[in-house]
Structures are given as C-alpha cells and as structure tokens.
Structure 1
Amino acid sequence: MNTLTINQKNKKNAARIAAFALLIMTIFAGLAFGMIHSNLIVMSDPALTLENLMSQSSKFTIEILAWIVIALMDFVVAVAFFYFFKTTNPQLAKLSAALRILYTLFLSVGIYHLIQIAINLDHTVLSTDIMIHLRSFDVLWSRGLIIFGLHLIVTSLLMFQTYKIPKILSALMLIAGLCYFTVHALYWIAPSIETTTQSIENLLALPMTIGELSFGIWLLVRGSRKPFLNATERFGFNA
C-alpha cells in the first residue's frame, strides 16, 4: 500500500469519526444547554436558581454528564480533524487541533465548577456560592469560545485548501468562526453592553450553529466516500 493510498484511508476514517463525534456533540449540546441549563439557571435570580437545582437535581446531573460527553467529543474532533487535514497543511492542521484542545480545557474547567455545585447541593448551601460557580462556568466557557472561534477560522482555511470540499461549506465555517470570536470577545472586552451582545448572539445563532454542523453532515454523507486530495497529491506527489 503506497503513501497516497494510506493517506486516503486515514482521511476517510477521520471523516467518519469526526462526523459522528460532531453529531453526538450537537445532540448532547441541545440536551445540556437548550433543554436543561437554560431552564434551570436564572442568573438574575439566585434564589430561584437554587430552588430549581434543589428540586431538579437529577436533571442537573444529566446536564453535567452531557457536558462531559461534549468535552470528550471535542477532543475526538480535534484529533480527527488533524488526521483529516494534515496532508493539506500540516502546520495549520496542528494549530487547528491545538486550538480546539485548548478550548476543551477551558470547557473542562468550567464543568468542574458545575460538578462542585452538584457535590455541595444540599439544604445548607448558599445561593451566592452557587452563583459564583455558575458565573465561573459561564466565563470559562465564553473565553473558551473565543479560542473555539479561532479554531473554526483556521479549520475553514484548511477546508478552502482541501480538494473537493465545497467552497460554500468552507465559507460557512469561516462565518461561524468569526461570529463565535466576535460575540465572545465582546462579552469579555465590553461587559457594559452585555445586553446588546446577547441580542447580537441571538441574531447570529443560526450561522454559528450551521457552520460546523453542515460540515459534519457532509463528512458523514459524502466525505467518507470522496478521494480527498490536496493540490500536491492531485499531481501524483506524496504530501
């Protein structure tokens, strides 16, 4: 088996793994944040938040488990993307993987704060203590999403350089990365306009979601069957 054939096999395997990891991550993100976190947590009302967590502790536990799955899938995607793109541009592939792993570390520390809430969730816990952990989770996740945005931008550059990936998917990934980076950078550097930033985030929710998800679906449906050749490989040279 020559180097070109091995590269193609590795790319197809990486495409399948990345696709399934992205889809699993999307499902669990909808569960963790969309269905549980956003309903249990009311940042403007600590007392109500504590009451929700006390009365629905099993749901909160499910949320934490879902976040753990998400973090694991993020790591899997980082590694799979590296193997998928490494013959396109090894340096950018390493940077893309490193950025996603760094984002995963931020998210993991944030999950630690949620675990601390679950461990100490009893009738003696103070709502102020709960809110400290919740704010820490929000801040860590948001800072991490700045890095995640950079990861998507770098990944979009790799996609533009990879033969047979539709340019529209590359553009959607770039737009998603710019949206993540801009929105969460605003949360960090301009906290005084948080309400405005939230409105911007709501407007950009669709492009932020569709960028990576559309690529994941394409990898699952078409990606594992296509010969992924960069410009060098197309002319018969080893990458």
Structure 2
Amino acid sequence: MTARTAAPRAAPAPAGPPAGAAPWAGGAGATTSPRRAALVAGSGYAGIFVLAVLANFVVLEDVRGAGDPAAVARAVADREVLVRAAAAAFLLVAVLDVVVAWALDVLLAPVHRDLSRLAAWLRLVHAVLMGAGASVLVVAAGPAGGGTTTPAQRAQQVGLLLEVFDVLWLAGLLAFGVHLVLLAVLLGLSRRAPVLLGAVLAVAGGAYATDTLARYLLPAYEDVAAVLLVVVAVPSVLGELALTVWLLVRGGRRVAGSAPAPARAPRGTGGPARPRPSGRPDHP
C-alpha cells in the first residue's frame, strides 16, 4: 500500500485592489492618476497667476514707480502691510511651484522619465529662489536698524534689498525658462497636446532665458529692456494661460479608442502578455 502524497497548496494571492480597479483606487501602492495630476497642475498654475499678478503688478510695480530711491523707501514704509502681503504671495507661489512640479512629473514621466525629472528639478530651483526672494522682500518691508537709521540710509538699504530680490527673481526665471523648454519637448513627445501649445511654451522659455542672460551680461540692458519685455510677456502669458486651460480641460484624459495595457498573465498559465494597442502613451 503506497502512501498518498498531498498536493502542495498554492500560495495565496497578494492583497491588492479588486480586479479591474485602477491602480490609483487606493491601498498601500496607490498612485495618482494622470487626470488628477493634470487637474492639480492646472489648479496650481491658476493660483500662481492670481498671486503673481497681485504681488508683482499691483504692489511692487506701484512701489517701484514712486520715483527716486528716497521716494521708493517712503512708499515701502507707507505700504508696509501690502509689501508684506506681496512677500507672502510670492512665498505661496513658491509652494505652488513645488506642487505643480510634482503634478507635471506624475503626468509626463510616462513620456520620458529622465526629461520629466529634470524639468521638475528646474522648477524646484525656481521655487527655492522665489522663496528666498520673498524673504528678502519681508526684510525690505520692515524697519531696519531698530528705527535709528536716517532716511538716506533707509533709502540705500531698501534699494539694495530690492536689487537682491531682482537678482534672485532673474536667476529663478532662467531655471524656469529651461523648464518650459523641456515641458514643450515632453508635450511634443507625448503627441497628446496641441503642437502650437508646445511651440509657444518653447518660445516663452527661450525668451525667459534670453532676458535673464541679457540682464546679467549687457551693461546697457536698459536700451533693449522695452523690446525684451514684449518678447517675454507675449509668449509667456499666452503659453502659460493656454497650458493652464489644457491641463484643466484635456490633460491626462485617455484618448478615445485607446485602452490600458493588459495585465501580464500569471505564471504557469503559458499566456504571454499581449502588446499594447498603440506605441504611444495613453496620457497626457
């Protein structure tokens, strides 16, 4: 009489989301869906637009337009609360930049992971420099030397701090310009965004970089400042507004007729994984 050998029991299947559930449905390995990432990036961009316009054009440009250095220092003192609010707005812009960098990386990493990471890092550099500039602006808004400085000394201090703010701002815009160029390349590689959107973003990025380098390198920058202002402003406003709208309306949506990649067949079934229906990513 031979002994009967018990068949080995199959190992229990690892816990995971229910069959057919999206990988971002929850659980320990949950991720963010491309569509949600696009909405986060678009919402962050919209917030950046509002905050930057209020801080830069409503507050700072008004203060800088006061006239000579002494008048600018008086304007900063008279509008101390507004200048501090502008600094806080720039700090929030820096935080939103970090969020947008993360969301764009989630959206675009499937297109080209290395370029997406580099674009995210460049935007983080811009965020760090923006935060540093906001801190300098807070110092400029407050009384220096315990209130013992003379008006001439105060005007000199405020002027120097505003120049430091400008230098940090410009350095950040150089990194941001390269970020926009890489973003345009990634959108082009994805073949999901309009070609015109990528082209305008690339022009805007190049304009940011050109303007920053011109300010650093040209002793007579003021001679070309008006021209470069237009060169930067037009494509940057059009391109970034269009990007915001595209992210909120179309970004991350699955293209009609495309399907997610089929799951790999379990071991032992002999069923090889089928190829994807298209060589292009399903998103952005």
1:57 is aligned to 80
Q: Give 1:236 shift.
A: 6.8
The answer to whether the Cα contact below 8 Å between 2:84 and 2:141 also exists between their aligned partners in 1 is: yes
Q: Please, which of 84, 91, 115 is the counterpart of residue 138 of structure 2? A: 115
Query: Are the counterparts in 2 of residues 42 and 48 from structure 1 also a CA contact under 8 Å?
Result: no
Q: Which residue of 2 aligns with 1:77?
A: 100
Change (3 A) 1:238 1:140: closer
Higher-Rg member (1/2)? 2
Asked if residue 210 in structure 1 is aligned to residue 238 in structure 2, the reply is yes
Instruction: Name the TM-score, length of structure 1 as normaliser.
Output: 0.89
Alignment correspondent of 1:131? 159
Aligned CA distance change for structure 1 residues 204 and 143 (closer, same or farther; 3 Å): same
Q: TM-score, normalised by structure 2?
A: 0.75
Contact 1:4 1:233 in 2 (8 A): no
**Aligned position for 2:89:** 66
- Equivalent position of 2:191 in the other structure: 163
Amino acid of the structure 2 residue aligned with 1:235: S
Once the 2 structures are TM-superposed, how far is the Cα of residue 29 of structure 1 from its aligned partner? 0.8
CA distance in 1, matches of 2:21, 2:176: 31
**Structure (1/2) with the larger helix percentage:** 1
CA positional deviation for 1:5: 5.0
Match of 1:200 in 2: 228
CA distance in 2, matches of 1:96, 1:213: 19
Q: Structure 2, unaligned stretches of length 5 or more?
A: 1-16, 25-30, 259-274
Among candidates 40, 45, 69, match of residue 63 of structure 2: 40
Question: Are the aligned partners of 1:4 and 1:238 in contact in 2 as well (CA < 8 Å)?
Answer: no
1:220 aligns to what? 248
Aligned residue for 2:278? 235
Q: How far apart in 2 are the matches of 1:15 and 1:72?
A: 17
CA distance in 2 between counterparts of 1:206 and 1:116 reads 32
After superposition, the C-alpha distances for 1:184-230 in whole angstroms (9 at most, x for unaligned) are 1111111322331343223431112221221111111222544498x
Farther-moved stretch of structure 1 (14-23 vs 159-168) = 159-168
Contact 1:3 1:238 in 2 (8 A): no
Which whole-Å CA distance do the structure 2 matches of 1:116 and 1:227 have between them?
50
Identity of aligned residues (%): 25
Correspondent of 1:190 among 183, 194, 218? 218
Deviations 1:106-137 (A, max 9, x none): 11111121111223367544110111110000
User: Where does the alignment leave 5 or more consecutive residues of structure 1 unmatched?
Assistant: none
| Structure 2 counterpart SS, 1:120 | coil
Query: Take 1:3 and 1:109, find their aligned partners in 2: how far apart are those partners?
Result: 47
The answer to whether the 8 A contact 2:88-2:134 is kept is: no
Which whole-Å CA distance do the structure 2 matches of 1:238 and 1:45 have between them?
Answer: 56
- Relative to structure 2, which stretch is displaced further, 98-107 or 12-21? 98-107
**Pairwise CA distance, 1:81:** 0.8
How many angstroms does 1:172 deviate by? 1.2
The residue aligned with 2:174 is: 146
Residues paired across the two proteins, number: 238
Match status 1:177 vs 2:205? yes
- Please list, as runs of the form range in 1=range in 2, the aligned pairs for 1:90-105 lying within 5 A after superposition: 90-105=113-128
How far apart, in 1, do the equivalents of 2:276 and 2:53 lie?
39
